[in-house]
Amino acid sequence: MFVDPGEDPRTDGGFEGERAVLTGYLRDQRLTLELKCSGLDAAALARRSVEPSNLSLLGLVRHMAGVEQKWFRQVLAGQAAPRHYRSDGDPDGDFNGAVPDPEVVAEAWTTWRAEVAFAERFTAEAPDLSVTGTVGQEPMQLREVLVHVIEEYARHNGHADFLRERIDGRVGQ
The CA distance from 8 to 173, in Å, is 10
Structural domain harbouring 28:
5-168
Long-range contacts of 108-114 (CB under 8 A, 24+ apart): 108/58, 108/61, 108/62, 108/65, 109/61, 111/62, 111/65, 111/84, 112/61, 112/62, 112/64, 112/65, 112/68
Assess if residue 113 is contained within a domain: yes
**In the chain, pLDDT over 90 holds for what percent of residues?**
82
Assess if residue 173 is contained within a domain: no
What is the arithmetic mean of pLDDT over 94-98?
96
Question: Would you state the pLDDT for residue 173?
Answer: 65
Assess if residue 82 is contained within a domain: yes
Number of domains in the chain: 1
Assess if residue 146 is contained within a domain: yes
Assess if residue 40 is contained within a domain: yes
Assess if residue 37 is contained within a domain: yes
Tens digit of pLDDT for each residue in 119-163?
A: 999 999 999 999 999 998 899 999 999 999 999 999 999 999 999
Question: Would you state the pLDDT for residue 2?
Answer: 67
Assess if residue 98 is contained within a domain: yes
Tens digit of pLDDT for each residue in 42-75?
A: 999 999 988 889 999 999 999 999 999 999 999 9
Question: The CATH number of the domain where 134 resides is what?
Answer: 1.20.120.450
The CA distance from 112 to 64, in Å, is 7
